[in-house]
Amino acid sequence: MSKSSLSILLLAAALAGPVAAAQTNGDPEIVVTGRSLKDTGDALAACLARNCPPDQDVAASLAHAENQLLQGDYKDSRTTLLKSIGRNRKHGDRFPVEVSDLFRANSRVAEHVGEAKNFQLSVLDMRNTLKAGLGEKDPRVMVAQIEVGDSRAKLGFPDEAERIYQDVEKEAIANGQNRVAMFARVRQALLVQTRAEASNLDSDHKEARQLLDDIIANPLPGTEEFAMAAQVMRARNDRKKGDASSTEAILREFAARGGTNRPVLLFSEPIRRIDMSEDFGNNQPAANTLSRLTALNNVAKWADVGFWIGADGHVDDIEILRGEGTRQWLKPVTEQIKGRVYAPLRRTDNDATPGFYMIERYTLTARWTDDATGTNMRRREATPRIERLDITPENYARPVVASAEKG
């Protein structure tokens, strides 16, 4: 899977949102992206058979779990990660980065299957492993603490997230880690901006604007790209008010720089929330509580969506490469992708029009809870959600698509 840079992570908008669940089966295709499932499974088995060192065990486990996830085997992917965590947790003192990667991967898979508690605990274990092995002042530990803040915000505790971001910023400044401090500061601004969009209160909008203006006007030394992230966030507010001038100014600035070598997302909107009754058709009654919960028992659907980013930064040629289950729920996903704007792309020496091909995994899920029906019975929450994962190959080439058997 491709690894986004820090600046791209800051510029990307949140994509998850509640949607309606749908209920039919699709005909999945296999996208050939690298080693087969059998190859990575055999490699992991061979590693364990020779009692390989923990770092090699982790690498083989991550490769196989990723492959299982790509094939839609979410349960098996999670099992592979949990077994590797069981074997290697105790080696975190010698291999803190490698073992933390296991916890981070498990947290992401847990998100996609609706295991909110495991998601929360895995993020904490990731942070704690790095802290124990590297020391609390290491910048990787503080970035991991920001990830803890992200998890609290995503689970519905924005006040905790804000406190975490503020603490990280203060500690990073005290340790001379300007980039980490600005990362935390932009996260605070994003949190306040999100709150302002939800409340539509003038006081919240004013606070968000002040935070963004300060980041733009007073970036810490060596952190100028964070000012651009704040400009992008401020331009989003302007567009919502009908003012596109700041958006156009950012696009002109990127064009003046000659464009970018890799995709950089500048603008996107959250995935549109749709009412569950829309999926029942005009001749069907609106979904009641029972039908919502029944539908949620069938949310394990996923799809890989591919699309081109053109030289002007606009998206074209959106296609569903493969998936599990109905594709009806993907309509708001494709609408959201269609509306994105990326930074203009750098042209080659022969002035050929460049383009990047992106692939993203979307999962229709709902979190598990013990009190969804007023009892202690474990069931899905009544509000489905969409989780996203970037699985673009590093060469940004359109994949070979063919019908095939797993393995």
Q: Which CATH number goes with the domain that contains 183? A: 1.25.40.10
d(C-alpha 113, C-alpha 131), whole Å: 27
pLDDT digits (tens, 9 = 90+) for 196-248: 988 889 899 999 999 999 999 999 999 988 998 899 999 988 888 888 898 88
| Res 126: pLDDT | 98
Please say whether the beta carbons of 330 and 320 come within 8 A. Answer: yes
| Res 376: pLDDT | 65
d(C-alpha 157, C-alpha 149), whole Å: 9
Q: What is the mean pLDDT of residues 118-122?
A: 96
Q: What is the mean pLDDT of residues 3-12?
A: 33
Q: Is the pLDDT of residue 152 over 60?
A: yes
- Which residue type occupies 316? D
| Res 96: pLDDT | 97
Provide the angle, in degrees to the nearest 10, between the axes of the packed helices 158-174 and 178-199: 160
d(C-alpha 241, C-alpha 217), whole Å: 22
- More confident: 282 or 117: 117
d(C-alpha 221, C-alpha 192), whole Å: 24
362: phi > 0 → left, psi -120 to 50 → alpha, else beta; which?
A: beta
| Res 292: pLDDT | 53
Q: Report if residue 251 sits inside a domain.
A: yes
Domain that holds residue 389: 6-402
| Res 396: pLDDT | 67
Q: Is the pLDDT of residue 181 over 70?
A: yes
Report the mean per-residue pLDDT for the chain: 82
pLDDT digits (tens, 9 = 90+) for 241-282: 888 898 889 888 888 888 888 888 888 888 876 444 444 333
Least confident of 11-15, 198-202, 301-305, 398-402: 11-15
| Res 326: pLDDT | 79
Cα 32 to Cα 9, 37, 38, 112, 306: the distances in Å are 27, 11, 13, 22, 13
Produce one character per residue of 245-271: b if its CB has 16 or more CB atoms within 10 Å, e if not: ebbeebbeebeeeebbeebbbbbbbeb
Q: Report if residue 229 sits inside a domain.
A: yes
Q: Report if residue 279 sits inside a domain.
A: yes
Q: In the structure, what pLDDT confidence band is assigned to residue 299 with cuts at 50, 70 and 90?
A: low
Q: What is the mean pLDDT of residues 285-304?
A: 59
- More confident: 31 or 125: 125
Residue positions counted in the chain: 407
Q: In the structure, what pLDDT confidence band is assigned to residue 366 with cuts at 50, 70 and 90?
A: confident
Q: What is the mean pLDDT of residues 285-310?
A: 67
Q: Is the pLDDT of residue 7 over 70?
A: no
Q: Report if residue 407 sits inside a domain.
A: no
185: number of Cβ within 10 Å: 25
Cα 356 to Cα 33, 218, 261, 310: the distances in Å are 16, 34, 10, 7
Q: Is the pLDDT of residue 404 over 50?
A: no
pLDDT digits (tens, 9 = 90+) for 307-347: 999 888 899 999 999 998 778 889 999 999 999 989 888 77
Q: Report if residue 262 sits inside a domain.
A: yes
Q: Report if residue 240 sits inside a domain.
A: yes
| Res 305: pLDDT | 95
Q: Report if residue 203 sits inside a domain.
A: yes
| Res 394: pLDDT | 72
| Res 400: pLDDT | 57
Q: What's the domain count of the chain?
A: 1
Residue 66: its H or E element = helix 54-70
Give the residue carrying structure tokens 């949607």.
19
Q: What would the two tokens of residue 144 be?
A: 């991991």
Q: Is the pLDDT of residue 51 over 70?
A: yes
pLDDT digits (tens, 9 = 90+) for 76-103: 999 999 999 999 999 999 999 999 999 9
Q: Report if residue 178 sits inside a domain.
A: yes
pTM of the model: 0.81
Q: Report which DSSP code applies to 158.
A: H
User: Percentage helix, strand, coil, to 5, in the chain?
Assistant: 55, 15, 35
